[in-house]
Homo-oligomer: A and B are copies of this chain.
Amino acid sequence: MSSDRGKETATRTEYLKAYRVMLTARVLEEKLSSLYRAGHIKGGVFLGRGQEALSVSVGINLRKGDIYAPLIRDQAGRMAFGDTALDTLRTYLGSQLGSMRGRDGNIHRGRPREGYYAMISHLGAMIPVVTGALMARRFRGESGVVGATCIGDGGTSTGAFHEGLNAAAVEKLPLVMVVANNQYAYSTPNDRQYACADLLDKAIGYGVAGHEVDGTDLGACLEVLGKAVAAARSGGGPQLVVGRLLRLVGHGEHDDASYVDPALKAAHVGRDCLKVAEEFIVASGWATPEEIGSWRVEAKSEIDVTAAKVLREPAPDPNEEEWTAVSDTRLQDNFAA
């Protein structure tokens, strides 16, 4: 890529950086899908296609020392925060070398010691957890730290969402609460999920700042998340960000998403954020379609190589496994064999 085409260099650099993460996430997810179809992945595969712009904007606005608890559709955000294709593939394929060592899989991965939390399935549960993590940082006198976590439209209906966001608001902690309103929770459309006009209407009821964003527009997402993260970082308390977008894939790869309203697919909300970003990049003269194409090829070949490698890695061996759920050996219970 050649030098300086636009004048807003910062924006351009950031935009392109974010775009390339989105692209890598997209290509990686395509790989996961094909590995799933080929029978290499057991259990569910849950992709974030169509949600990369919003997701990457969260991860990219965080820095080392921050806390990030991504959710189901945050492959892009995860990679922006430092997760790798290698560990993603290891976790999905159950490699013994992955961060979860085959004990947990797919989206339930993380490295909590690095601020990158491993979600449990129960939706909403990560919200109070990030809140508590931020409380710990405050106890230790660390300021300028942000904690971000994500949830779907469906997840806003959980008691955990409510209790967690409320507690963060009471403590005025730097929580960035990102709602990816992708119109459906599995098959359930929003009109069976909530009755407010807009999920952003919830902000005032918690006494937190609210931000709305077009989740199909990377530029808008970068800007709004940038603002929200900065506001949290500088003591503005919890920030609720609601992105409007559409999940462009099944709930999981087993699901053909035939329930999605075609009108939504055809509407603005149904745009593919990756394509929209590509068009913007080309229109801004930041890269040519050919350059973009080569980035994709590059990403794909790297991921293919990584996948091939991971497929040869050892699976966990039940005979070598330490079958204990407690860290302290004194606390291990003994059951007759």
Binding site for B on A (CB under 8 A): 157-163, 166-167, 169-170, 172, 191-197, 201-208, 237
Contact = CB atoms under 8 A, between A and B. Distances in A.
Given A201-B205, A204-B205, A205-B202, A169 B157 contact: no
Contact of A157 (B166, B195, B207): B166
Contacts of A167: 157
A171 to B, nearest CB: 9
A188 to B, nearest CB: 10
Nearest to A164: B159
Nearest to A191: B170
A201 B207 CA distance: 9
B159 A163 contact: yes
A240 to B, nearest CB: 10
Contacts of A207: 194-197, 201
A195 B205 CA distance: 8
Given A202-B205, A204-B204, A170 B158 contact: no
A215 B305 CA distance: 69
A170 B196 contact: no
Contacts of A201: 204-205, 207
Contact of A159 (B158, B170, B204): B158
Contacts of A208: 195
A333 to B, nearest CB: 25
A238 to B, nearest CB: 8
A196 to B, nearest CB: 4
Q: In this complex, which of A158, A194, A205 has the most chain B Cβ atoms within 10 angstroms of its Cβ?
A: A205
Nearest to A172: B195
Contacts of A161: 162
Nearest to A167: B157
Contacts of A197: 204, 207
B206 A195 contact: yes
A11 B49 CA distance: 61
Contacts of A195: 166, 169-170, 172, 206-208, 237
A274 B172 CA distance: 38
Nearest to A190: B170
Contacts of A191: 170
Q: In this complex, which of A159, A169, A192, A195 has the most chain B Cβ atoms within 10 angstroms of its Cβ?
A: A195
A193 B158 CA distance: 19
Given A170-B195, A195-B206, A197-B207, 14 more contacts: A158-B163, A159-B159, A159-B160, A159-B163, A162-B163, A166-B195, A169-B195, A172-B195, A196-B205, A201-B205, A202-B205, A203-B205, A204-B204, A204-B205
Contacts of A203: 205
A151 to B, nearest CB: 13
24 contacts: A157-B162, A157-B163, A159-B159, A159-B160, A159-B162, A161-B162, A162-B162, A166-B195, A169-B194, A169-B195, A170-B191, A170-B192, A172-B195, A194-B207, A195-B206, A195-B207, A195-B208, A195-B237, A201-B204, A201-B207, A203-B205, A204-B204, A204-B205, A205-B206
